[in-house]
Amino acid sequence: MSKLQSFLLVGLILTSTFSSACPVQWNVKIHYNQVIFTEAQNMTALLPGTVYVESVPSCRPNAIGFVLRGKNQLELNKGLSSLQAELITHDKRPLSYISNQGFVLPLSNAKSTKFWIRVPNARISAPGLYTSQIQAKLLDATTDKKADKKNIPIKLNIQAFALIKVSDSSQKASIKGVYELDLGELKSHSSHNIPVEVISNSSTNVLIKSKNTNHLVNTSNQKSRIPYQLFANNKSIQGKGHTIQLSGSPDSISFSRLLLEFKLGNIQFASAGQYKDTVVIEVRAN
């Protein structure tokens, strides 16, 4: 009986020694304060993430697997709205999917390995907080044994936004834009039309006003002025300007068009020279 007790004691000691010699501490963090929106590539959102792993070299896992709730496509949801997303490496390559392991991110030899969550078209989607959850697990180099798992919440807050494009102008600005447009050679009783496109993911207020209260001013003689009429979608713009309200779609991006029209009266007695005015277009998303 004493021999049996001795054998059991040795077995417990060996098991304890093996376990303490191979500790692995790890975590996955999404850096929500470092989200990047790219205006190229359909205004994609990039959420940076980092996998932190500390272990002795002989016990270090070679990869981490991300499991997406039984799906092969990552989705961020807000009510009935959803955004498609994908997991990519730090150098922007898609992660490979392996059955029973999920989307596999190879781990570097350093304590941290960076990756991205890419969300195409995010910036032009309906505003609000989109959320999801992925499950992360460490993968052993040689076995497929059951490993420690962590649930990682994913969230992306899309702000209301608006931007404008003016015909014949390469300039573009979000929230607020100021444009100087060339009307060409001025002639009596002529009119000039300039299309303006408003792109938004919410309802929008557009304020249009003339800096010189609807007057073209001679650049060489400030006292020489030519009055003109300014219209936006056939509504007269005078004095402090006029605000036009545009309704946005609750589920998608909206494209609204405004037509600015400049009308001149009789200018045959105006002094020769170059004339200029600045029309201010302010776009505010609600």
Contacts of 59 (CB under 8 A, 6+ apart): 21, 22, 23, 24
CB 78 within 8 A of CB 132: no
Number of domains in the chain: 2
Whole-angstrom CA distances from 76 to 36, 135, 164, 228 are: 17, 14, 28, 51
Q: Are residues 179 and 69 in the same domain?
A: no
**Shortest CA distance to 121 belongs to which of 213, 45, 9?**
45
Whether residue 167 is predicted with pLDDT greater than 80 in this model: the reply is no
- pLDDT at site 168: 55
Considering the domain architecture, whether residues 32 and 146 belong to the same structural domain is answered as: yes
- Residue 16: inside a domain: no
Report whether pLDDT(4) > 60. no
Q: What is the distance between the alpha carbons of residues 154 and 151, in angstroms, rounded to a whole number? A: 10
CB atoms under 10 Å from CB of 222, counted, come to 9
Which of residues 158, 177, 193 is at a domain's end?
Answer: 158
Q: Is residue 9 part of a domain?
A: no
pLDDT tens digits along 32-79: 999 998 866 557 999 999 999 988 777 788 899 999 876 778 999 998
Give the tens place of pLDDT for each residue, 177-199. Answer: 556 667 778 889 998 888 888 88
What CATH code is carried by the domain that includes residue 202?
2.60.40.3290
Lowest mean pLDDT among 45-49, 175-179, 246-250, 251-255: 175-179
Position 18 in a domain: no
The enclosing domain of 39 has a CATH number of: 2.60.40.2910
**Which of 102, 126, 158 represents a domain boundary (last residue)?**
158
- With contact defined as beta carbons under 8 Å apart, do 208 and 242 qualify? yes
pLDDT band, residue 175 (cuts 50/70/90): very low
pLDDT for residue 238: 86
In a domain, 6, yes or no: no
**pLDDT tens-digit profile of 101-159?**
899 999 998 899 999 999 998 887 888 999 999 999 988 754 444 467 899 999 999 98
The pLDDT assigned to 20 comes to 45
| Structural domain of 248 | 162-285
